[in-house]
């Protein structure tokens, strides 16, 4: 279901966009803070649903809705506004829905359900496959409570599948696959292993063939997905949509961070995926530090400790996170935890042949002296 958003408030657009991304049926083609449809004429022909604010500078959302439906009579209109006095006019225009700000996820879900019925989406009855690659590799259908067990014939078959999934939608040449996965064996045998592994993958994924398909094209292979969500892509898309952290967005950000169950295929030692694994971990760390800083600055000690602890668990050598933890423990008079965190950081850095920051050492010894004075 292709949608677009018109609202003169950028923050309102960002929030609604983030909420709409929770629904697999939604594809956002564009957003606009201006009530000008001229530059979107082509895109509006493809749109199924427009989400419109009513009070916009220079025009009225009701008028804008008329212009849009004149351009594309099949488009559904959903008004999203902070004012309730336009409801009658909105429904007189046969608007599908009228939502008052702030929009709750539950209220938005009702709208999406109505949209599904009105557009008679043929794919809505098909189940959705979730592929998890953050942490362990698992496959699970949306309606099921347990993952599907995949029996890989060989370790190389599993690695080949993951490599094709890693490059999903892109044709990978047979030469590239052989060079990457079978570089240490004789060439003819390597190609033979490739063909056998492709056969084994297709056999292992037979019950999921409506969702996952490996096609032989252009002297290579391409893995294609249908009605499938990969948690890595889902998480990355959502995390990049969230703007600067505010009280309004912090809950959404924490919910999105919970999708990150672990590093990208963290138990598998494949050299070719290390670059993306590092990139995703850095993105997680960047956002985790923003959350921890927000809670530290707003004096939410418990949540700040929780997030700094998660950062230190992933990156034990992170001096800033460890130092913030020490200071938080100190404010709570958890002196044993301060000692533990300092000594742990010092040891980790020593193992890496790095000297702990003099500022941290100075602060630590100052607190030790204060403690001694108080205990006298």
Q: Does 242-375 carry CATH code 1.25.40.10?
A: yes
Average pLDDT over residues 139-167: 94
pLDDT, residue 32, reads 92
> Averaged over 263-290, what is the pLDDT?
95
What single-letter DSSP state applies at residue 100?
E
Helix (H) or strand (E) segment spanning residue 248: helix 247-257
pLDDT given for residue 125 in this prediction? 44
Distance of alpha carbon 345 from alpha carbon 351, whole angstroms: 10
Q: Is residue 94 predicted with pLDDT exceeding 80? A: no
Q: What pLDDT was estimated at residue 106?
A: 80
Neighbours of 320 (CB within 10 A): 15
**Band of residue 122 on the pLDDT scale cut at 50, 70, 90:** very low
- Could you give the residue range(s) of every CATH 1.10.10.10 domain in the chain? 129-228
pLDDT band at 69 (very low <50, low <70, confident <90, very high): confident
Give the residue carrying structure tokens 């204060």.
370
Mean pLDDT score of the chain, rounded to an integer? Answer: 89
Counting beta carbons within 10 angstroms of the beta carbon of residue 39, is it exposed (0 to 12), middle (13 to 18) or buried (19 or more)?
A: exposed
Domain with CATH 1.25.40.10 in the chain: 242-375
pLDDT for the residue 376? 60
Confidence (pLDDT) at 284: 96
pLDDT for residue 123 is more than 80: no
Task: Give me the pLDDT at residue 124, please.
Answer: 41
Quick one: pLDDT at residue 262?
94
Check residue 147 and give its pLDDT. 94
Please report, for residues 30, 162, 233, 241, 256, the alpha-carbon distance to residue 236 in angstroms, rounded to integers and kept in the order given.
19, 18, 5, 9, 9
Residue 118 has pLDDT above 70, yes or no: no
Query: Is the domain defined by 129-228 classed in CATH 1.10.10.10?
Result: yes
**Omega before residue 102 within 30° of 0, cis:** yes
What pLDDT does 91 receive?
66
**Other CB atoms within 10 A of residue 132 CB:** 19
Would you say residue 224 has pLDDT above 50?
yes
CATH number for the region 2-119 comes to: 3.40.50.2300
> Which percentage of the chain shows pLDDT scores above 70?
94
- The residue with greater pLDDT, 57 or 242, is 57
Tell whether the model's pLDDT for residue 121 goes beyond 50: no
């Amino acid at each position: 279901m292709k949608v677009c958003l018109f609202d003169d408030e950028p923050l309102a657009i960002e929030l609604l966009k983030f909420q709409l991304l929770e629904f697999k049926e939604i594809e956002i083609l564009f957003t606009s803070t201006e009530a000008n449809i001229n530059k979107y004429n082509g895109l509006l022909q493809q749109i199924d649903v427009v989400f419109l604010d009513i009070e916009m500078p220079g025009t009225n959302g009701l008028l804008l809705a008329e212009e849009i439906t004149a351009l594309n009579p099949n488009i559904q209109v959903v008004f999203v506004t902070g004012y309730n006095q336009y409801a009658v006019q909105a429904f007189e225009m046969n608007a599908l829905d009228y939502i008052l700000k702030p929009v709750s996820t539950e209220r938005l879900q009702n709208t999406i359900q109505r949209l599904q019925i009105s557009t008679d989406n043929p794919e809505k009855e098909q189940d959705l496959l979730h592929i998890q690659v953050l942490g362990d590799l698992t496959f699970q259908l949306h309606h099921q409570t347990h993952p599907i067990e995949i029996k890989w014939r060989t370790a190389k078959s599993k690695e080949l599948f993951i490599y094709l999934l890693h490059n999903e939608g892109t044709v990978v040449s047979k030469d590239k696959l052989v060079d990457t996965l079978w570089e240490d064996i004789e060439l003819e045998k390597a190609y033979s292993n490739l063909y056998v592994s492709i056969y084994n993958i297709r056999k292992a994924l037979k019950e999921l063939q409506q969702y996952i398909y490996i096609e032989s094209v252009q002297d290579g292979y391409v893995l294609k997905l249908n009605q499938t969500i990969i948690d890595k892509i889902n998480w990355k898309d959502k995390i990049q949509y969230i703007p600067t952290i505010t009280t309004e967005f912090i809950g959404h950000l924490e919910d999105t961070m919970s999708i990150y169950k672990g590093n990208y295929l963290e138990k598998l030692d494949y050299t070719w995926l290390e670059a993306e694994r590092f990139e995703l971990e850095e993105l997680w760390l960047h956002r985790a530090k923003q959350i921890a800083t927000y809670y530290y600055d707003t004096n939410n000690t418990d949540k700040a400790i929780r997030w700094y602890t998660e950062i230190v668990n992933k990156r034990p050598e992170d001096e800033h996170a460890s130092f913030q933890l020490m200071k938080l423990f100190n404010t709570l008079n958890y002196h044993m935890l301060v000692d533990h965190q300092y000594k742990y950081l010092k040891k980790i850095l020593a193992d890496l042949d790095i000297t702990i920051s003099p500022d941290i050492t100075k602060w630590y010894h100052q607190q030790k002296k204060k403690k001694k004075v108080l205990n006298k």
